[in-house]
Amino acid sequence: MTIPFYVSTAIPYVNAEPHLGFAYEAVLADVVARHARARGHDVRFVTGSDEHSLKNVLAAERAGVSVAELVRTNAARFAALRDTLDLSTDVFVRTSEPRHRAAVERLWRALAERGELYRAPYRGLYCAGCERFVDEGEERCDEHPHAALERIEEDNWFLRLSAHGETIARAIDEGRLRIEPEAHRREVLALLRAGLRDVSVSRSVRRARGWAIPVPGDDTQVIWVWLDALASYASAIGYGDDDDAFRTSWRDARERVHVLGKGILRFHAALWPALLSAAREPWPTRLFVHGYVTVEGAKIAKSGAAAISPFELVARHGTDAVRWFLLRHLPVDRDGDFSLDRFVAVHDAELANQLGNLVARTVTLIERAGGHVPSAHAAHEGELEHALRAEVDALATGVDEALDRFAPHDAASAISRVVLAANTYADRRAPWSLARDPAARAALETTLFHLADALRVVAIVLAPLLPTTARAIAHQLGADDLDALDAPGLRVRRGAPIFPRIAR
Ligand SMILES: [Zn+2]
């Protein structure tokens, strides 16, 4: 019986083409999904598109097309990232789908029936960028410091969010709701301890331009886009139209993980658990929070020059080269910068010269020595072998531990260190010289065994990060898949370089 495991990305609003910031989040979530699958879990990996945002309405007006047309076109581009970035997503949900609307209505009715909603006049400042009311006393929005806030007075439905803060804080303290990295956990606890205010969860039909899900039983109001968007985590897996599926994928899951950017943490750490509590459904177990991506030092402006298309980047340099840069060089606990120069430098140094070279030289040497991965001879194992062995043996645990605390950059750098160690080991043992001396056959075999074995472990731990590369290494080592890598005496198959250098 495999244990269910749930993981999602946040759903982006689709007012433009996908940019590198979302590609980053999608790859991070994919690593979580693949790592869980490799450990035998039955994974549900969910993503989608947030289509009821007012931003989509405004973008459609500017483009002179209908909102439905704009979101359909852009949602298809976001869905296409699955192939481009080699994402193992199981479900893509659009919030304009009927199954999603059914879920939002069900959630709303559950809230209403339990007395979690009340109607009251709202007066306050509204940030259109975030589609949220800024807190009393705030003069501007942290996320959009230059945006003019709109003064609004209207009747809205309110959620009794203030009643849930204590319960959520306790769950975080007790580790039932984990937030990584740690700095974000402290930030959420401070927010909760300061006290949550009730939050308006509907808008007038007029202000939403009619582009949203109507409040059941109140035709003057539509449902706030954040309640709508959060519900997609559940609508994607059956809440609203397939309760059996929802039970297996969510209620029974060992972990329910949301991967999200730091700017929307409060919606996930306060509003979402409160909604789920009110609806008597279990919470997420982990929130994995990442920083922002800048491009060539500038904030990603979706329509501006700084928008590097993930599609173009992958078309030019390949999926795994892009995944590697995002995972290894944009640490989740701070903002990270993407620059083309750095991308090329990193690609050539770490992928072409280190990993690619280790694969090529190992497979070539084994081929020349007869073609089968040899066994080691204990009499020829010395300090160099023991030192490499120790590093290789510690790698899987190190990678697991890093991925468990949502530090894929640490996992990637641990892999890099072992690749470097194996190349250094090869330089010291110089198997190309041993190969010229028939008397050194046992020493040669021992060295080739240790190189091949380091590569075997590297391929296995690399699989969640760079799935295609992991399979390519396994293939060159003679295995048809990663599980077959352990077989003794595999016959190697020399192939093309896995990462040809970019720079000339
Ligand atoms: Zn804002």
Distance (Å) from CA 474 to ligand 1 centroid: 47
* pLDDT class of 217 with cuts at 50, 70, 90: very high
b/e map 266-277, b = 16+ CB within 10 Å: bbbbbbbbbbbb
Q: Is the pLDDT of residue 45 over 50?
A: yes
Q: Is the pLDDT of residue 207 over 90?
A: no
Distance (Å) from CA 144 to ligand 1 centroid: 4
| Structure confidence by residue, pLDDT tens digits, 149-163 | 888 888 999 999 999
- Count of alpha carbons within 13 angstroms of residue 258, beta-carbon side: 27
- CA atoms of 498 and 481, how far apart (whole Å): 16
Distance (Å) from CA 118 to ligand 1 centroid: 25
How many C-beta atoms lie closer than 10 Å to residue 484's C-beta?
Answer: 12
How many C-beta atoms lie closer than 10 Å to residue 403's C-beta?
Answer: 22
Q: Is the pLDDT of residue 302 over 70?
A: no
Q: Is the peptide bond before 18 cis (omega within 30 degrees of 0)?
A: no
Distance (Å) from CA 266 to ligand 1 centroid: 13
Distance (Å) from CA 404 to ligand 1 centroid: 31
Distance (Å) from CA 140 to ligand 1 centroid: 8
Is the domain spanning 339-486 CATH 1.10.730.10? The answer is yes
What are residue 46's DSSP bridge partners?
8, 91
* % residues pLDDT > 90 (the chain): 86
- C-beta of residue 228 within 8 angstroms of C-beta of residue 235: no
- C-beta of residue 265 within 8 angstroms of C-beta of residue 272: no
- C-beta of residue 300 within 8 angstroms of C-beta of residue 293: yes
| pLDDT for position 306 | 52
Distance between the two ends of the chain, CA-based, in angstroms?
52
Distance (Å) from CA 308 to ligand 1 centroid: 23
| Structure confidence by residue, pLDDT tens digits, 387-414 | 999 999 999 999 999 999 999 999 999 9
The mean pLDDT value for 8-35 works out to: 96
Backbone angles phi, psi at 333, to 5 degrees: -85, 5
| pLDDT for position 112 | 97
Distance (Å) from CA 38 to ligand 1 centroid: 39
- Strands of 140-271 (E only): list them: 150-159, 178-180, 199-200, 202-204, 214-215, 218-223, 255-261
Average pLDDT, the chain: 95
- CA atoms of 79 and 94, how far apart (whole Å): 10
| Structure confidence by residue, pLDDT tens digits, 137-152 | 778 888 888 888 888 8
Q: Is the pLDDT of residue 164 over 90?
A: yes
Distance (Å) from CA 133 to ligand 1 centroid: 9
Instruction: Calculate helix-pair angle for 20-38, 67-84, nearest 10 degrees.
Output: 50
Q: Are β-strands 178-180 and 286-290 bridged in parallel, bridged antiparallel, or unpaired? A: parallel
Q: 443: part of which helix (H) or strand (E)? A: helix 441-462
The mean pLDDT value for 427-450 works out to: 98
Distance (Å) from CA 204 to ligand 1 centroid: 19
Q: Is the pLDDT of residue 125 over 70?
A: yes
Distance (Å) from CA 136 to ligand 1 centroid: 14
| Structure confidence by residue, pLDDT tens digits, 51-102 | 998 889 989 999 999 999 999 999 999 999 999 999 999 999 999 999 999 9
| pLDDT for position 146 | 86
Distance (Å) from CA 149 to ligand 1 centroid: 9
Domain range summary for the chain, segments of one domain joined by +: 4-299, 339-486
Distance (Å) from CA 264 to ligand 1 centroid: 10
Distance (Å) from CA 148 to ligand 1 centroid: 10
Distance (Å) from CA 501 to ligand 1 centroid: 42
Distance (Å) from CA 471 to ligand 1 centroid: 43
Distance (Å) from CA 282 to ligand 1 centroid: 29
Whole-angstrom CA distances from 358 to 60, 320, 433, 442, 458 are 50, 17, 17, 21, 11
Q: Is the pLDDT of residue 332 over 80?
A: yes
* pLDDT class of 1 with cuts at 50, 70, 90: low
| pLDDT for position 305 | 47
Are the folds of 4-299 and 339-486 the same?
Answer: no
For the purposes of burial, counting CB atoms within 10 Å of the CB of 321, is it exposed (0-12), middle (13-18) or buried (19 or more)?
buried
The mean pLDDT value for 211-235 works out to: 96
How many C-beta atoms lie closer than 10 Å to residue 236's C-beta?
Answer: 31
The CATH superfamily holding the domain 4-299 is: HUPs (3.40.50.620)
